[in-house]
Every structure is written in structure tokens, then in C-alpha cells.
Structure 1
Amino acid sequence: MKFNIKDTFTKELPADPILENFRRPVHACFSYVEPKKTKQPALVHASPELAKELGITENDLKSEAFLKIFSGNSMVANTKPYAMCYGGHQFGNWAGQLGDGRAINLFEMEYNSKHWALQLKGSGETPYSRSADGLAVLRSSIREYLCSEAMFHLNVPTTRALSICETGDRVLRDILYTGHPEYEKGAVVCRVAPSFIRFGSFEILLAREDVETLKLLTNYTIKHYFPHIEMGTKKGYIQFFKEVTNRTLDMLIHWQRVGFVHGVMNTDNMSILGLTIDYGPYGWLEGYDEGWTPNTTDNRDKRYRYGNQANIGLWNLYRLASSLFPLIDEAEPLEAILEGYRTDYKKLYLKMMKSKIGIFSEEAEDVVLINTLEENLQLTETDMTIFYRNLSKIDKNAVITDDFLAPVMDAFYVPEAINGTIKEEWKTWFQAYVSRLQREALSNEDRKSKMNSVNPKYVLRNYMAQLAIEAADKGDYSVVDELYQLLLDPYGEQKESEKWFVKRPEWARNKTGCSMLSCSS
């Protein structure tokens, strides 16, 4: 197994001169540090699809060499692993230096003209671990591995995951911060992305008034990931910020489209490439609720709730704009881009929502139709994924009779609640919807095909991940593989997998890991 090593981050940016691995403030872009050796590594699962993108064969995936490298027990020749330094605003407050506290970058490589960075999450302490152990547990690692690949196949911009290995070590964790920690199985995930640079990578340099390194990092990022932008000029820096803003907005629109809630949109969890990064207490909407967050830490303020993700994206971009300001020294162009975000969001969100309900022409009443729909979805507990997927079954020539809700009835958690005023609200909406569809040129079948290409049938509901975790904890990795295979084709019908196209079961409503999760998740 050979890799075309093309390390750029460590060659072109300043390194921490201290080589010892202990917690400390680091005035550099990264620190060299090696992964912790694991006791008895075992491969839980690997992605053949992503492996192929990296030039890794299926035979390689089964090899001892692969297991050793991606469990952290051996290093690829001529590589020097490292952890990145960055800061960040956490829950709206500046947290100072953060950095890769439990992630170690193995190397950068090129294959088929694509550049990739590979890192291990849960591979031990780094100078940025603060009071933590730098390790990860099987539970959170399965969630990250499956979700990374699920999001990719949902066409959501994301980092990827190549493999997950058990370490054979036990890791002490207090899953819900109750003061009763327990030992769990340790694990390591190999995460893959073009780069893991974050908003916080720039913020820490502003906080330290290190404009020289800020300029180096910005030029490096433009050179390697935005090569069409002129490097080293005010015009180029403004364009860079504009493109990061556009990518961030695109990512967030996709989150809203599939009902994904990140749970921890701190600035250190925001990719400069507009990729979904750091899968912790995430979740998909079960009952449609704009106020829902899966994060126990955020349960009171709900800062990172589903309906607020676009606002937080903007707030985070303001922090990035402030970080880039020393290179531009002019607020007006940055402010114009941030103001444009608000306008663009409204346009893009409307376009996305219209695609979800199968409307592609322009009419003034479409905004009201969508606003009313979103209000109706919250009249009683309604599964977002099932509702939108089954909405494609509506016949645009249908007459609205008493059973008009039959195509979407499976989406309601309490079907008997759909009566009286609630039923009338829905009837009024469906009458307006069918009338609107009749003014569309598409046939029922063509509309259904387009709707089903943006409304997934299968998403990684938390209870599904929990079932995989519980089986894996007993040494059974078959559910991990079953869900991995399912999520390769989330928009397909997959008739043999209908058991996963259901509402969250009642037993999962308040079960740990199936509803609320902590940052330890």
C-alpha cells in the first residue's frame, strides 16, 4: 500500500518548535505529535468507495498494514503526523486556544489529481488536549463514521470517513455529564477531507495579533484551495471571504433541506471549505420542530437549534470577517458580503423549499404556501423525512376529499390528532397546493422524480445509529455495515430496506443516544 505523499500544510506554515507532547499555548499553526499506540486494534468497518478515491484497494483494506496505520500503531514512511492549532467561539463566547485535542493528521496525499488530508480522531493526547485524554469511544466513532458517509451520499458538503477501528483500550466517559463516568470501548476514526482548516484557524491569529502568520495562512489557503483567486492582494482577500461565505451558505441550505441539525456550530467547527465537520451531538429532525437541538449542553438556550442554523452561520462569518480584516483594512466590502448573505439565504431557501414540494416556476404566492406548510408541520408531531418523501405521491389532478391526507398519513406520530381545526388547516393547504401544482408543466411522474431526488427516503436517525452501536458493543458489526450500505443510496426506494423508512419508535423517544446527546456523543 503506497501513498503519493504531498504534505503542504507542514512545509509551508510555521511549526511549533517544541517537540515534547504536553499541554501548552502554541504560537504556530501546528505541533508535531504521534498517535498513541493502541492495545489490540480491530477493524470495525472501512469504506470501499472512499478507499477507491484514495487509491486504496479492497485487498489493502483487509491487510495488516492498513489496520496498523489507521489505528495509529504505525506511520507511513516519510511522514510526520501533527495536530493543528486554532481557537474559536464556543456557544457565542471566545474560548481562546482550542486546536486538535483528539485529532492527529497523519499526512496529505494526492491521487487522481485530488488532494486529501487524512487524520485520526481519538488517537491520543496533543498539546491542545487541555484536561482531556485525546481518545474517542466506539459509540461516538460509529456515529461520526456513518454520518460522514451518509451526508456525502445525501449530496451535502462534508468531510468523509475512511475507517473505524476498535483500539482494545477502555476509555472513561461521562456520556451525559451526570457525574457517573463509565468505561467504554475505545475507537479511532480516519477522517478525510481536502483540508481541515477552520474559521478558528484564523481567529486565533487575530486574537494574538499575529498578522504575519495570518497572511501566510490566508495565502496558503487561497493558493491550494481557491487557486483561481489572486493571492496576496486586498481584492483577492475580499473574494476569498465572499467564496467562503457562499460555500458556508450552500452547506447550511443543504442541512435545512434534509433536516440535519449539527448541534455544535462553534467557530472551531466551521470548515473554511464549507464542509460539514466534527460530527458530535448531531441529529435529524424526527418531529418537525424549528426549535429542536440534539445537544444537551444547548438544551436551555437552543442557540444551535434547527431553525437558527442560518443565523449562526452568519454570526460565525462575522467572526471570520473580523479575523481577515487586518489583511483588508476596510470594513465596507466585508459588510456588503455579510449583508448579501441575508438576501441570498432568503432566495436560496425559497428555491430549495420549492424543489422539496415540486414547484419550479415563479409565482408570488409561493412564499405564503411554504410558510403555511411549515406552520402546519408543527401543529402536531410530524416526521419531516416521511412527510416530504410521501408528498411526491400527491396527484395534481386530485379532488380533495375526506381522505386527502392518506398519502402522507404515515408521517404523523398521532394520526388521531388530525381532526377539527388541524384537519381544516391541512385541507386548506392541500387545496392551495394541488391548485398550484396544476399550474406547473411537469407531469406527476416527472415531478415525483425531481422531488425524490432532493427529499431522501433514508437518513441516519439517531435510534438507527444507536442500534448499530449496541450491536457493535457486543462485537457484532453487521448493523454498522447494513446502515452503511443503506445510506449509500438514500434517495433510492430500496424496497428490501423499508423497515428503516419509519418514524422513530416510541422506545427511542427518551432513550440516551436516541434523542438528546452530549458533546461526548
Structure 2
Amino acid sequence: MNQRIRLQFRCLTRSLRFPSLLFLGVACHAGARCLLQSVLGGSTGLLQHSSNESEREQGYCDTEDRLAPTLDFWTLSSENLIAVFPVDPVKENYVRKVENCIFSIAFPTPFKSRVHLVAVSKNVLEDLLDLDVSVSETDDFVQLVSGGKIVFGSVPLTHRYGGHQFGVWTDQLGDGRAHLIGIYTNRQGEKWELQLKGSGKTPYSRLVVSDDDVWRDQFNSGNIKKERGAVVLRVAKSWFRIGSLEILAHYGELDLMRILLDFIIQEHFPLIDVNEPNRYVDFFSTVVSGTAQLIALWMSVGFAHGVCNTDNFSLLSITIDYGPFGFMEAYNPDFVPNTSDDERRYKIGNQANVGMFNLNKLLQALNLLLDSSQKQLAAQILGEYPDLYYTRFRKLFKAKLGLLGEEEEDDELVAFLLHLMGETEADFTMTFRQLSEITESQLLQLNIPQQFWALKTVSKHELFPTWVSKYLSRLKSNINDSDSKRRKRMISVNPRAEELDG
């Protein structure tokens, strides 16, 4: 089983399911911080809103046909979480062991120095949060996204979870540098959880969290420098992860585990009946399938997560907590962007195997709630993971090559190209992109234009003409196709790598 998955890793495609990100970097003059989860304010102030609250729905922007230009009528709510889950009774914000709860209340730590907005996502503001982009120019907005103020209706929360890090159980982890500032329900009825990262100390902090000054040794050279700090606000449908369940299973908090699972199923898995006796097996089946497809998508664009611990794997099969991530440039299955991963556990070519490991840890937690027949069924579901992964992986890479239908040689054709790319150290992204742009006649004549530099690199391999011959022969089996249609299809799934200014 593992060998099969490793073979699949030699191939990769597109369309990552990242949670939508609202990049609200707030740089301060003196220091640096980076956070990506929730925000609450202990001594921080609340953004004051109109008292006409009874006339509008909680969490909904009262601007029916237009986007809100201010935060005056814009609210967040934590009620959905606080009403369901027990909250840590200790209100003081100090590092401690927390038990028998899902969240602790903790407020963000405002910067002492002046802050300013670095970047903002217009799409997230307008499409998800019903806010006009002009709101980002207001001081209230800057204070909100830097943790200086809390929106009316919000109670800042930090989430308790555990996890396996680099294959080892590390007990309590939790939101050590993050605050969930609330849930927003937009005009489409979608619920989005807003979370600050870099917003100060919480009961789950594992390091000393500085206020404004951050010292970094970026290259581990002993050359420590003070850097400007930032807070990031991100949004997602949910931040629950495998570790959210693991911590409850580890401490035998099974009633609380059932409450959490039923909540997640009811909120985020509409096809599962929360009253169905086999709901946890159905839930596991959905997560297994979603995880397999997500990692195949990562591979298709050469994305390496960097820290595939169970506390960083979403139960909704979205990409979260990818701090030291990277996109593979020269094709190399051993590529790892995380400089602290000395053993290359999370190298790009091992991500599917790690997904299997993490799902097994999820199953171990769920087994505490399953009867013998359900355990057997869940184990069978986990065993289907390699086929689920490879089916998606194969479909994605065939699309990257513009292949239609099914032919026996398809797998070999993909593997052959990746082999050539590996031996010539060709750029992964641009090789596929330039294959999308070159014409079949140019390939037939091995006439590769100078601007197709990645393809020129691959073409230096002595076996490249053999691959081209096999590829062009396979394209002839595409029914009702043309060269222009092929190129259009391939361009739609093969992104272009571009340098960013600045």
C-alpha cells in the first residue's frame, strides 16, 4: 500500500482548497508577530455600534444591496460556539494545562506602537464579509485586524487541541498565538470564522510571546536581527482539526468528544444525518476521501505544506496552518520547504503517506466511540485511501497533459515526463505551463521556442524525443479534439509562475 502511494508522488497538479485568506498584515515600527487564528481583547476596547441592534439579524451586515463602508452596522458573534461547548472557567490569561473544554476566553494583546495596514484581500472583504474595500482605510478596521479592538457581539476564543508532531504525540497544543474573534454570517447565509494570528499570549502559548519586538535568526547563522512584526487575519469555514478530537480522546473526555463531533457534522457535513447511528463512520469516510483529494491537489501544483502534523490537518479537508510551506521549483520528490524538518518527514513526495498516518490517528480517536462492527468498517474505509488518492491524482495529471479518455499508457506517460524533469531539474510549474502553450507541430519538430526555457531544460535529456513521440501519439486518441482545444484546456489547469514586484 505505502509503496503504491510513493510511486504516485512522483507525479503532481492544480486547484488547492486553501481557506480564503484575508491578508491583513499589520506592521509595527518596533517588532514582529505573525498570527492566523482568532482574536479577543482583554483590556482592548470594543468597537461601538449603533444601538439599533434589534432591527438587524445578529452577525449580518445591514446593507441589503450594497457593501458596508464602515463597521458601524457590522457584527460578529461567538454565541454559536459558546452556547454549545463548555468554556474554560479560568478567565486569567496565563499558560496552563486546560481540561474538559473546547475553548478558553482570551483577549488579543494590542501593539504598543503605531500600526498600519500592509495588505488586504478585496475578494474576501466584498464576497465573504460584505464589506466595501474602502472600510480598510478606516482606523476602526486597522484596530480590529491588529487585535486592538473587538467588534460588538464577539467574545474572543482560543481553541484547545493536541496533536502528533513529526509522528510523536505532543499532548496539549492549542492556539498558542491566535485568537478567534468571531463568526460572520454573510448575505449568502455562509458562516465564516475570523481568526487572528500573532495577536499575543494565550493559555496555550508554548513560547514567550513578545509584544512589539521580534528577534529572528532567519538562516540559523547566529546573526539575530530585530524585525518588524505583523498580525494576520484569516477566515475559514472552521478551524477544527484532527488534533481537536485527539486531545479529547487522549484524556477520555468522550462525552465532550461526542458533542464536538455532532456539532461539526451538523454544521459542516449536511449529507450526514446527525441522528444516524453510523454517523461517525460516515464522517470518517468523508474526511478520508476529502484528505486524499486535497493532497492530490497539492501535488498537482507542486505544493508542499511543510508541517503536516495532525494539529495542522483540517477536518473539513481544507489547507490550514501551512507556515513553512513552499511551491516546488525544480522537480524533486525530496523537496521540503521547512528547514527544521531535518529528516524530511514532510517532503513533498511523502505527503500522501503522511495523510494516511494522520487519518489513522483520527481513526484511533474515533474508535473510542465505535462498536466492533463500526471499527471494522472504518478500518476498511481507511484502507481505501490509496486508491482514492491515486484516482484523483491520476485525473489531475492527465488534465495537466490535456489527455482525454482512458488509455493504458497514461500512467507511464506521466511518470516518464516526471522522470525526465527530475533528471534535468526542470521547473515543475513552468514545464507543464509551457507544454500548454507550445503547438503540436513545434513539438513534432522538436522546435522549442527560446522563451519556453523550462521545456528547453527537459529537452536536453536524450530520451525527450521518445517521450514527445509517445505524447503526440496519445493525443491522437483524443476524440473530437484539436490542438487549440488541448492548449486551452491545459492552460486552464496549469498555472503560470510569475515574479512579484518588490
- Displacement of 1:337 after TM fit? 1.2
Matched, 1:410 2:453: yes
The corresponding residue for 2:14 is none
> Which runs of structure 2 are paired with 1:309-328 in the superposition (5 Å)?
309-328=351-370
The corresponding residue for 2:406 is 362
2:242 to 166, 183, 199: 199
TM-score relative to the length of structure 1? 0.78
- Displacement of 1:49 after TM fit? 1.1
Matched, 1:127 2:203: yes
The corresponding residue for 1:253 is 296
**2-side partners of 1:85 and 1:174: how far apart?**
29
- Displacement of 1:405 after TM fit? 4.5
Q: What is the identity, as a one-letter code, of the residue corresponding to 1:374?
A: L
Matched, 1:293 2:368: no
Local SS of the residue matching 1:75: strand
Q: What is the identity, as a one-letter code, of the residue corresponding to 2:397?
A: M
- Displacement of 1:86 after TM fit? 0.5
**2-side partners of 1:40 and 1:408: how far apart?**
46
Please list the CA deviations of residues 221-268 of structure 1 after superposition, one character each: whole Å capped at 9, or x if unmatched: 011111331115441111111111222122111111111111111111
Identity %: 36
Matched, 1:183 2:226: yes
Q: What is the identity, as a one-letter code, of the residue corresponding to 2:93?
A: N
The corresponding residue for 2:190 is 114
2:384 to 327, 330, 340: 340
**2-side partners of 1:372 and 1:410: how far apart?**
19
- Displacement of 1:400 after TM fit? 3.3
2:173 to 80, 87, 98: 98
Cα gap change, 1:257 to 1:407, in 2 (>3 Å): farther
CA contact (8 A) 1:396 1:437 kept: no
Q: Which moved more, 1:171-180 or 1:111-120?
A: 171-180
Q: Could you say what the CA RMSD is over the residues aligned between the two structures, in angstroms?
A: 1.9
Matched, 1:35 2:79: no
1:390 to 434, 440, 454: 434
- Displacement of 1:399 after TM fit? 6.9
Matched, 1:77 2:152: yes
Q: What is the identity, as a one-letter code, of the residue corresponding to 2:202?
A: T
The corresponding residue for 2:371 is 329
Q: What is the identity, as a one-letter code, of the residue corresponding to 1:186?
A: G
1:67 to 120, 137, 142: 142
Q: What is the identity, as a one-letter code, of the residue corresponding to 2:87?
A: A
- Displacement of 1:24 after TM fit? 0.6
Matched, 1:5 2:79: no
**2-side partners of 1:418 and 1:48: how far apart?**
41
- The number of aligned residues is 423
Structure with the larger RCO, 1 or 2 (CA within 8 Å, 6+ apart): 2
- Displacement of 1:394 after TM fit? 3.9
**2-side partners of 1:341 and 1:369: how far apart?**
24
Matched, 1:429 2:500: no
Cα gap change, 1:369 to 1:134, in 2 (>3 Å): farther
**2-side partners of 1:68 and 1:30: how far apart?**
24
- Displacement of 1:116 after TM fit? 0.6
Matched, 1:378 2:422: yes
1:16 to 88, 111, 117: 88
Query: Which runs of 5 or more residues in structure 1 are unaligned?
Result: 136-168, 469-478, 480-521
- Displacement of 1:71 after TM fit? 0.8
CA contact (8 A) 1:372 1:429 kept: yes
CA contact (8 A) 1:120 1:190 kept: yes
- Displacement of 1:407 after TM fit? 7.5
The corresponding residue for 2:323 is 280
The corresponding residue for 1:455 is 494
Cα gap change, 1:16 to 1:172, in 2 (>3 Å): same
Please list the CA deviations of residues 150-200 of structure 1 after superposition, one character each: whole Å capped at 9, or x if unmatched: xxxxxxxxxxxxxxxxxxx32122334455432111110001001111110
Q: What is the identity, as a one-letter code, of the residue corresponding to 2:408?
A: A
TM-score relative to the length of structure 2? 0.81
CA contact (8 A) 2:312 2:322 kept: no
Runs (4+) of structure 1 exceeding 6 A deviation are none
**2-side partners of 1:61 and 1:293: how far apart?**
36
Please list the CA deviations of residues 454-475 of structure 1 after superposition, one character each: whole Å capped at 9, or x if unmatched: 100136x7xx5xxx7xxxxxxx
CA contact (8 A) 1:103 1:134 kept: no
The corresponding residue for 1:439 is 477
Matched, 1:46 2:109: no
Please list the CA deviations of residues 394-415 of structure 1 after superposition, one character each: whole Å capped at 9, or x if unmatched: 43456734x34448850169x4
CA contact (8 A) 1:5 1:107 kept: yes
**2-side partners of 1:346 and 1:391: how far apart?**
23
Q: Which moved more, 1:125-134 or 1:427-436?
A: 125-134
Q: What is the identity, as a one-letter code, of the residue corresponding to 2:307?
A: V
The corresponding residue for 2:53 is none
Cα gap change, 1:399 to 1:187, in 2 (>3 Å): closer
**2-side partners of 1:432 and 1:208: how far apart?**
57
